[in-house]
Every structure is written in structure tokens, then in C-alpha cells.
Amino acid sequence: MDTSPPVLIQAMRCEPVGRTPVWFMRQAGRSLPEYRALRGGGSILEAVADPELAAELTLQPVRRYGVDAAILFSDIVVPLVAIGVGIEVQPGRGPVLDQRFSSDDDVGRLRPLEPESDLPAMLDTIRIVLHETDVPLIGFAGAPFTLASYLVEGGPSRTFALTKRLMHAEPEAWHRLLGAIAQISLASLRAQILAGASAVQLFDSWVGALSRAEYEEFALPASRTILEGLADLAAPRIHFGVGTGELLAPMAAAGADVLGVDWRVPLDVAAARAAGSAPGKLALQGNLDPAICLAPTDVVLEATDSVLGAARQLPGHVFNLGHGVLPETDPGVLKAIVEHVHERTEQQ
Ligand code: 1CP
């Protein structure tokens, strides 16, 4: 019996791999006809509250694409909803609060998360997925900055003006807010790993809105609390954000095993920017532009080769897109990428 860890975990630990592992952020979703058929018109929060359904939505892309990882079907706001924050996830828009956070008093609306009683459906989903597949499951949580941005803006934002106002005008309230969110995301990730997730990803999707100095003062400490709070568990940790070209060095120092890179910075350049910041070896994840996946397949596979070329000297590489799959993506293109990456990187 082969007892070596899955190729995803080997790559994340910078160990030798038989081939480069591949998965896609937002691989479950509207680009899959079987997803649309199963989801129907209900809210995503209803879907994640149904473990059988959430497990099936987690497994659909594994079957269709032959990816090297499943990612839990959930959302970054699920733990906040579980502790009673009034959030609706509106189709086509995203998370919207019934009452946004505007002052220090609002931090009191965040009580500690008790995963076994607050997130039973999420933990049951993980257990069902493990029973159904040998492919490793990635759990995830929102990073404090990105979650705080939804709480403070009251919904998706382009400027993050209210978030930055709070950060600069009331730094103590800001740090209390981020500290409370960090404990919630940490508790959720620990529970996901203990339930069987093989790796986790901390999504700081919108942190690219910050300057490096702002990142180091206002976002990094709470993200580090989460990543270092998982250090005693065996599951490798991925740290990802969008528009983070200027933040790669401090992000690499936050305590993750893998740094997720968006499509704007080639992976060899990203590695040079991160060099010397991480305490040990750092694997990179990424970074094909999701919009390129809308082009003809030969163009997509050429772009895939450029990503593989830029990753050639890395100690560890997990192939992914630079952000989530766009809904209009042809599933056949994603399947072709998986096969191509596997073929091109297969060790003789
Ligand atoms: O009803 C629906 O179908 C709404 C669409 C949808 C889906 C399918 C949302 C609303 N969330 C999800 C699932 C989801 N969310 C997953 C599923 C697992 C997979 O990858 O296949 C994951 C990993 C997330 C994480 C998530 N939610 C992030 C981080 C990842 C990223 O894309 O940067 C963020 C920022 C969110 C918030 C969110 N939830 C939904 C939307 C449309 C958004 C973004 C809104 C915005 O622009 O601010």
C-alpha cells in the first residue's frame, strides 16, 4: 500500500513530487451545469446548512476536473452568521449586513465561536466528504482584514473607504475588531482540521487595497495570530490575497507554508519578493489569470505553460488560478488545464 502523503501535501511541504498538483479557487460553482442543477435558486447559506448537499457540491469538481484537492463548499461569512451576525449572501452581489459595524461598541456583537455547536453542518460536511473521496480536502476561512471589510462596509466595496476610516481614526477599535475576528477564524480552521481537512487556506481577498505600511500595522498581526495558532497541527497553511504584489514579503513572514499569488506577478518574481521573509521553505500557489480561461484552449494552455515555466525553480508549486473561476468559464477548459499540468510535470 502506498502510504506517501497526497501530492498536494508533498508540494505544500516542498517535498519532491511525482507531478505538480492542481486545484482551482471557486472550482465549485456556476460554471458547472451539475452545480446549477443541484443548487437551484436557494441561498448559499441554505446550501451550506445541508451537509449532504454541501458535500455533493464539494465533490462535483473533483469528479469533473480530476483536480488534486477538494475545497469545502462554504463561504467566509459562515462562522460570522453562526454566531448571530445578520448577514445575507445575495446572489450576484455577495455578503450584505442588516446593520453594519461602525464603532467600538459593535465589536461586542462578535462572541467567541464554539465550532462543535455553532458549525455542526460544516463539520458534518467534512466528515461526509472524507468518507466519499481520497482526494485531500482543503478547509478555509476569511482573513481578519477581508472579513472586517464586509462588517464595516456592510457589503462588497470597491474603495474600502469606511474600513480605512475606522482603521486610521479609531485604531484601538480596529485592532479589537480584528483580534475578535482572528479568534473566530482560528477556531473555525482548527475545527476543520480536527474534523479531517488536510490543508487550509486563509483568504485575504481584498487586502491588496492596503499599502505595505498599512498592511504591516493593521492586517498582518491578526493574520499571523491565525496562521501561528495552527502551527501545532500537521495541516499545511496557504495564505492568499489579490493585488498583493507590494505585500508578498510581509505576507510570506506571516507564518504560512504556502503563499498564494494572483496573476499580476509571475511566480519567479513573487519568489524573489518573498525570499528571506519566510522562516523556512515557502511553496507558492498560482497563478493563471482566470480571465485567460475564457480564451480558446490553445491560448489557455500556452499561458499555463508560462506559469509552469515561471514555477520551475520553486521548492514547491501548487498550480491554481490567480483568483476564483469566473462563472462563464467552460468546464472543458479547466479539465484541459488539469490534464496539461499533470502531463507536463510528470516525473519519469
Ligand atoms: O448563491 C451563490 O451561489 C452565490 C455565490 C457564492 C458561492 C458559490 C458566494 C457568495 N460564495 C460561494 C462559495 C464560496 N465562497 C466558496 C466555495 C468553495 C469553492 O472554492 O469552490 C469559497 C472558497 C468562498 C470564499 C469567499 N467568499 C471569498 C474568498 C474567495 C475569493 O473569491 O476571493 C470571498 C471574498 C467571499 C465573499 C463572497 N461570497 C459570495 C460572493 C459573491 C462573495 C464576493 C463578494 C465581493 O465581491 O465582495
| Average predicted confidence (pLDDT) for the chain | 97
Exposure string of 214-227, with b = 16+ CB inside 10 Å and e = fewer, is bbebbbbebbbbbb
What is the 3 state secondary structure string of 98-144? CCCCCCHHHHHHCCCCCHHHHCHHHHHHHHHHHHHCCCCEEEEEECH
Place of cell 483536480: 67
- Out of 58, 76, 90, 329, mutate this one to test ligand 1's pocket (max ligand atoms within 8 Å of CB): namely 76
pLDDT at 1 over 60: no
Q: Which atom of ligand 1 lies at the shortest distance from residue 28's CA?
A: 21
User: Which residue's CA lies nearest to atom 6 of ligand 1?
Assistant: 44
Mean pLDDT for 281-286 is 97
Domains and CATH numbers, the chain: 7-345 (3.20.20.210)
pLDDT digits (tens, 9 = 90+) for 109-168: 999 999 999 999 999 999 999 999 999 999 999 999 999 999 999 999 999 999 999 999
User: Which residue's CA lies nearest to atom 15 of ligand 1?
Assistant: 75
User: Which residue's CA lies nearest to atom 41 of ligand 1?
Assistant: 94
- Full-model pTM: 0.97
User: Where does the pLDDT of residue 40 fall: very low under 50, low under 70, confident under 90, or very high at 90 and above?
Assistant: confident
pLDDT digits (tens, 9 = 90+) for 192-203: 999 999 999 999
Q: Separation of 18 CA from ligand 1 center, angstroms?
A: 32
Q: Which atom of ligand 1 lies at the shortest distance from residue 42's CA?
A: 1
Strands (DSSP E) contained in the chain are: 70-71, 87-90, 94-97, 137-142, 199-204, 237-241, 258-260, 283-288, 317-321
User: Which residue's CA lies nearest to atom 29 of ligand 1?
Assistant: 203
User: Which residue's CA lies nearest to atom 11 of ligand 1?
Assistant: 75
pLDDT digits (tens, 9 = 90+) for 64-95: 999 999 999 999 999 999 999 999 999 989 99
Q: Separation of 156 CA from ligand 1 center, angstroms?
A: 11
Mean pLDDT for 48-75 is 98
Q: Separation of 338 CA from ligand 1 center, angstroms?
A: 22
Active site amino acids: 26, 30, 39, 75, 150
What is the spatial distance between Cα 43 and Cα 66, in angstroms, rounded to a whole number? 27
Q: Separation of 75 CA from ligand 1 center, angstroms?
A: 6
Q: Separation of 15 CA from ligand 1 center, angstroms?
A: 31
pLDDT given for residue 348 in this prediction: 59
pLDDT given for residue 4 in this prediction: 87
From 271, 254, 311, 272, select the one nearest 288 (Cα to Cα): 311
Q: List all residues whose CB is within 6 A of at least one atom of ligand 1.
A: 25-29, 44, 71, 73, 75-76, 89, 91, 94-95, 140, 146, 156, 203, 205, 324
User: Which residue's CA lies nearest to atom 18 of ligand 1?
Assistant: 73
pLDDT given for residue 159 in this prediction: 96
User: Where does the pLDDT of residue 280 fall: very low under 50, low under 70, confident under 90, or very high at 90 and above?
Assistant: confident
pLDDT at 41 over 90: no
Residues 6 or more apart whose CB falls under 8 angstroms from that of 338 comprise 22, 65, 66, 67
pLDDT digits (tens, 9 = 90+) for 222-238: 999 999 999 999 999 99
The half-sphere exposure of 252 on its side-chain side, counting CA atoms within 13 A, is 22
Q: Separation of 324 CA from ligand 1 center, angstroms?
A: 9
DSSP, res 322: S
Q: Which atom of ligand 1 lies at the shortest distance from residue 146's CA?
A: 35
pLDDT given for residue 71 in this prediction: 98
pLDDT digits (tens, 9 = 90+) for 197-223: 999 999 999 999 999 999 999 999 999
What is the spatial distance between Cα 325 and Cα 328, in angstroms, rounded to a whole number? 8
From 196, 191, 192, 253, select the one nearest 227 (Cα to Cα): 253
Q: Which residues pair with 237 in a beta bridge?
A: 200
From 182, 195, 43, select the one nearest 115 (Cα to Cα): 195
